[in-house]
Structure 1
């Protein structure tokens, strides 16, 4: 993004595509116009112009290459490719699986089911699969949409008596079906029925199916058992939260794509404070780039701290409840399960880690911690000692504890 012109009292910003324009306008119009009011010499409005090809501006994103023989499939974002996806330990398997699907659609890992938290890159991989397949073969009919959009199209087709058109689009005129947020299909019985038959038709024809969700198929409320079974026929893989080094790499790669020179100390500052969400990292970088471009102030840690003060998480109080919540998230269990008397090995380990962190990071006594886990204080003492020993001898436990302490901000 860069400044193009001044027209009719508005600063015109060059953007690479409509998706980028809409995202910036939704999130930062008020901030940009407030900044202009302070430094813009009478400019109070922001306008946008889609720039088809890069003109060499300092922050301009490279415009996507458009194939001459066919139009890019609807809804596919050209900016989300495998080349712009940062691969790390937290996403290596889903990234490799998505790449394999894009090389042999319908034959490798069909269906591919990717799950994980919000803003970790599931949608990016879904677009990357579609873009790669289309770039290789423009005759491939790629259909990308969310489960919400699938439901809306189904309801509209029923209402307007156009089910033949609906079924033709998704069964006969589709080679690759990419569905985002499939969890929202739960509890929608009629839509599930239609999707079930669509899935079966495509699968039997060796058409590629890639699904994303925020949870496992078995954990989607209201999902019919026959769909759960279909979703598990291929490969199920998860994306986890990026570690510190990965967050820095993501920022540096995004900055490079935007032709923005991002100092290492600024990248490390942002990565330290925004820990869980790739989307938040990208949003912080977009905001920093925009204000830097408008104000021409140098990119320093102090400048970043001032610009991002409204979106950086505030210092959190580390108490027993905060530790229980973070440990539960990290090990993918519930807080209630940490307090139950279940002896499952993985759950017992999570509970012991939580007790250890409560003792190390809070001023709570052993009896106080015990009461918060519905245990006696001797159990807490034994758990703390066990984890202390494991931290010294087991690299995996040490890494888990380091990750959790970083997430807790200590």
Structure 2
């Protein structure tokens, strides 16, 4: 007979295969199974914050894992500790169920978003007969109120808000949001969907889907001779949000299918929202006709947040978790975590998790420095041309090897020139050595690059801010 310990052990084996070892050790190893009764597994977590973190970030994985281990009627319940003591078993706890899978009213029909490989259960409806009631796949915590606006994202956020207020009837169709990892693309595009659902109810069918899920569903539909039904389903979505569109790269059949779906939705005045880690023109192995359509509406980039925005993000994250963090700690994190929003939030989460495990009521600056020291660059790191290339290419969202290749793409040329300029400023390398590190280029190319960057610094506020952010990042690494 399956016990709580046995069931949770099976769950952990599945979870380990789906997340990094560090995340597994941090968030799942401390959990203890409590009991198993009536297909409901109860697990004990250290705090209310712990419960909310699991539900926000691992809900889908936990739901599918419980279904695999306990069957389709399996449920998960949390026992959350509310008092501290030296012995874990003496703590009082409260019981909290896993959040419901969807609206309380029964759905009229299964949808393609419930799809798992080999398990398509008539998810389609006949157009014109009745409107599909679908699970939008939206994370309810991704809302505009929790998306901090700054110079780095103002255009994208303003366009997103305009779409949410008038979906399909605006100049931003499609909206193409792009930027590096962890800058808030998923948060922003899902905020649109959540606002539409909140303001318009069932008037619009909204669907958020990753490009990987879209591709997997399409492959499964072909395998089951249901490609036409797949197309019919997607053509009847009012607001389609596709995340990480760059993963369509090289998938010719998927691109062709999406091309026809895109055309049908656009012609019918349906809203299309896309995200990518790079601008449309820089996505490799994507058909030109798709690139052209991606540029029909508005392409808006998310940039690395400036200090003031980073500070505001950290304050919001702390408030969301109901804690007060000293301003000195917020300043410390804001100064040392500059590459993206995800790193900022990760620093706060690590602090909170450590404080929760150690039963610390107040976090001070010394504790913050100790806990986050592995996440902050070593204070004695020697900057090199290679590390500068990495910083610059990460900033531009391009592969580091690109700046060493003989390509004349504008974005890569600009990144190469900036990296050469910074290499001269922060290293003692000769112009000849710098040129060799950039694909064997002549020293005259380095001189031209430095001159070009200096000219832009004197005429372009955008480039001045860009260089300032990159220089700050390098200076932190060389303190």
Indicate the TM-score class for this superposition, using the shorter chain for normalisation: 0.7 to 0.9
Instruction: Say if 2:295 is the partner of 1:261.
Output: no
Question: Aligned partners of 1:342, 1:180: CA distance in 2, in Å?
Answer: 28
Candidates 215, 237, 248, aligned match of 1:185: 248
Give 1:80 deviation, angstroms. Answer: 0.5
CA contact (8 A) 1:327 1:350 kept: yes
Matched position secondary structure for 1:177: strand
**1:228/1:308 Cα in 2 relative to 1: closer, same or farther (>3 Å)?**
same
CA contact (8 A) 1:323 1:358 kept: yes
| Equivalence for 1:84 | 146
Matched position secondary structure for 2:368: helix
| Equivalence for 1:312 | 376
| Equivalence for 1:325 | 390
Deviates more, 1:250-259 or 1:340-349: 340-349
Matched position secondary structure for 2:173: coil
Deviates more, 1:320-329 or 1:276-285: 320-329
Question: Aligned partners of 2:249, 2:94: CA distance in 1, in Å?
Answer: 39
CA contact (8 A) 1:21 1:48 kept: no
Candidates 58, 65, 72, aligned match of 1:22: 58
Q: Could you list the runs of 5+ residues in structure 1 that have no partner in the other structure?
A: 27-35, 54-65
Q: Could you list the runs of 5+ residues in structure 2 that have no partner in the other structure?
A: 1-26, 36-42, 63-80, 108-132
Instruction: Say if 2:208 is the partner of 1:208.
Output: no
**1:243/1:48 Cα in 2 relative to 1: closer, same or farther (>3 Å)?**
farther
Listed one character per residue, the Cα deviations across residues 125-164 of structure 1 (whole Å, up to 9, x for unaligned) are: 1110000000011111101110111111112222223334
Question: Aligned partners of 2:385, 2:137: CA distance in 1, in Å?
Answer: 44
| Equivalence for 1:144 | 208
| Equivalence for 1:130 | 193
Matched position secondary structure for 1:238: strand
**1:84/1:48 Cα in 2 relative to 1: closer, same or farther (>3 Å)?**
farther
| Equivalence for 2:47 | 13
| Equivalence for 1:401 | 467
TM-score under structure 1 length normalisation: 0.79
| Equivalence for 1:246 | 309
Question: Aligned partners of 1:40, 1:183: CA distance in 2, in Å?
Answer: 50
TM-score under structure 2 length normalisation: 0.69
Instruction: Say if 2:267 is the partner of 1:226.
Output: no
Question: Aligned partners of 1:209, 1:236: CA distance in 2, in Å?
Answer: 12
Question: Aligned partners of 2:57, 2:462: CA distance in 1, in Å?
Answer: 43
Question: Aligned partners of 1:144, 1:203: CA distance in 2, in Å?
Answer: 17
CA contact (8 A) 2:180 2:395 kept: no
Give 1:11-410 correspondences, 5 Å limit.
Answer: 11-14=45-48, 15-16=51-52, 19-20=55-56, 22=58, 41-43=86-88, 50=96, 73-108=135-170, 109-139=172-202, 140-172=204-236, 174-294=237-357, 295-315=359-379, 316-330=381-395, 353-373=418-438, 374=440, 377=443, 398-408=464-474, 409=476, 410=478
Number of equivalences: 384
Identify the structure with bigger relative contact order (alpha carbons < 8 Å, sequence gap 6+).
1
